[in-house]
């Protein structure tokens, strides 16, 4: 169960890094901010990448392919200039690094201050692992922007899922401790949660997401639901190619949205593709329209398109509920001594 303890494991999946020194990409999209739909500008800086990916890495992550171990500070300053040329005054700026913005091994404090102060947005979003969240770092970041939101890829509030399904390298308590420091500095938090990490059935994954959304709910926290997509050169890709993993159904995402009292942001990465959350292909566009509408209204219409594949999804859920219900809890007890 979980990630093989093979000394070559990290290297086998993470030797596909880049030698490029330019920005990975930028894009624009609409997002809710304080109850209104606004424009956001997202940037992915090409850094040396996530420190955890050099030691082990998460099972579903392939972001290492967009990183460069030899990146320099001059390269990053050039990337900033490139990003500023593309920035059109969007209300939200989201700064991604395929790692942790608060990790000085990726972004020095001086450069972090320069990047943050370069954009005049209402809200600035950065990402980090919890181990890099310190009181001093958060206060420094907050001083450079109008309002700061710090995103953490928690993925699940279950320590069993974090350890044995995602190989996250930290615990739910680590996340809570970091989030408290974020709040004390006057910033908001954003929490990424997965729909269907590897090794969970469809129904276990749905229940885990609902439980996790409830666990991380907080007035200062934005929940971002990320339906898993199969990224290239990730351990998950091996499972998928061997037909040991299917990305989540779009029906599952809709069902979760209908059952939760939260108001999550939905990541559209991979939605409707064979590697991402999908249905049969015939109804995907219609269901995706509903998910897109939810992103701006927070509502699911009463009339949901019907498709024969929905019966297949319901049958799969019922079988899993009958024969596999509680398997995660059983395995959790079995592995309790190792967690």
Provide the residue ranges of all domains of the chain, joining segments of one domain with +: 9-338
Query: Cβ(196)–Cβ(247) under 8 Å?
Result: yes
Closest alpha carbon to 92 in 11, 12, 37 = 37
Closest alpha carbon to 220 in 277, 142, 290 = 142
42 forms bridges with which residues in the sheet? 27, 94
Residues 6+ apart with CB under 8 A from 52: 58, 129, 169
* Terminal-residue alpha carbon distance, the chain: 12
Q: What is the C-alpha R_g of the chain?
A: 20
Specify the pLDDT at position 1. 38
Strands 221-227 and 265-266: parallel
The torsion angles phi and psi of 11, rounded to 5 degrees, stand at -65, -40
Specify the pLDDT at position 215. 97
DSSP-derived secondary structure letter, 68: -
DSSP-derived secondary structure letter, 161: I
83 token code pair: 């990003």
- Give, for 183, the enclosing helix (H) or strand (E): helix 172-184
Distance between CA atoms of residues 110 and 91, nearest Å: 24
Specify the pLDDT at position 335. 45
**Coil, helix or strand at residue 205:** helix
Closest alpha carbon to 156 in 215, 110, 86, 202 = 215
Please report, for residues 9, 62, 124, 183, 230, the alpha-carbon distance to residue 236 in angstroms, rounded to integers and kept in the order given: 13, 9, 31, 34, 6
How many residues are there in the chain? 339
**Coil, helix or strand at residue 149:** strand
The torsion angles phi and psi of 23, rounded to 5 degrees, stand at -55, 145
Specify the pLDDT at position 4. 43
pTM exceeds cut of 0.75: yes
Specify the pLDDT at position 321. 73
Closest alpha carbon to 320 in 268, 252, 260 = 252
- How is domain 9-338 classified at the architecture level of CATH? Alpha-Beta Barrel (3.20)
Specify the pLDDT at position 33. 87
Closest alpha carbon to 179 in 126, 125, 133 = 133
**Coil, helix or strand at residue 198:** coil
Give the orientation angle of helix 109-117 with respect to helix 135-142, to 10 degrees. Answer: 30
Residue spans of the chain under pLDDT 50: 1-6, 9, 333-339
Strands of the sheet containing 188-195, edge to edge, are 25-33, 36-44, 92-96, 123-127, 148-155, 188-195, 221-227, 265-266
Neighbours of 200 (CB within 10 A): 26
Specify the pLDDT at position 125. 97
């Amino acid at each position: 169960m979980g990630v093989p303890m093979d000394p070559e494991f990290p290297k086998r999946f993470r030797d596909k890094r880049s030698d490029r020194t330019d920005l990975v990409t930028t894009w624009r999209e609409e997002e809710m901010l304080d109850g209104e739909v606004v424009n956001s500008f997202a940037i992915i800086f090409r850094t040396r990448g996530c420190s955890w990916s050099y030691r082990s890495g998460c099972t579903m992550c392939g972001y290492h392919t967009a990183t460069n171990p030899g990146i320099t500070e001059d390269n990053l300053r050039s990337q900033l200039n490139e990003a500023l040329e593309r920035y059109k005054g969007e209300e939200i700026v989201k700064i991604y690094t395929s790692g942790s913005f608060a990790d000085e091994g990726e972004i020095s404090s001086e450069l972090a201050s320069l990047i943050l102060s370069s954009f005049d947005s209402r809200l600035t979003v950065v990402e980090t692992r919890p181990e890099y969240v310190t009181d001093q770092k958060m206060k420094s970041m907050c001083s450079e922007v109008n309002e700061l939101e710090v995103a953490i890829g928690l993925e699940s509030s279950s320590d069993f899922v974090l350890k044995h399904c995602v190989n996250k390298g930290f615990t739910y308590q680590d996340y809570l401790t970091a989030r408290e420091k974020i709040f004390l500095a006057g910033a908001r938090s954003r929490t990424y949660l997965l729909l269907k990490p590897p090794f969970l059935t469809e129904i276990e994954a749905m229940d885990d997401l609902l439980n996790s959304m409830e666990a991380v709910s907080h007035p200062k926290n934005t929940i971002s639901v990320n339906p898993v997509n199969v990224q290239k050169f990730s351990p998950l890709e091996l499972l998928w190619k061997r037909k040991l993993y299917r990305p989540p159904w779009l029906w599952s995402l809709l069902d979760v949205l209908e059952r939760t009292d939260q108001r999550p942001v939905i990541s559209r990465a991979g939605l409707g593709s064979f590697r991402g959350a999908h249905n049969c292909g015939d109804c995907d566009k219609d269901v995706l329209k509903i998910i897109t509408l939810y992103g701006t209204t927070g509502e699911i219409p009463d009339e949901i398109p019907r498709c024969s594949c929905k019966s297949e999804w319901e049958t799969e859920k019922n079988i899993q509920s009958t024969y596999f219900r509680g398997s995660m809890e059983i395995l959790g007890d079995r592995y309790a001594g190792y967690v």
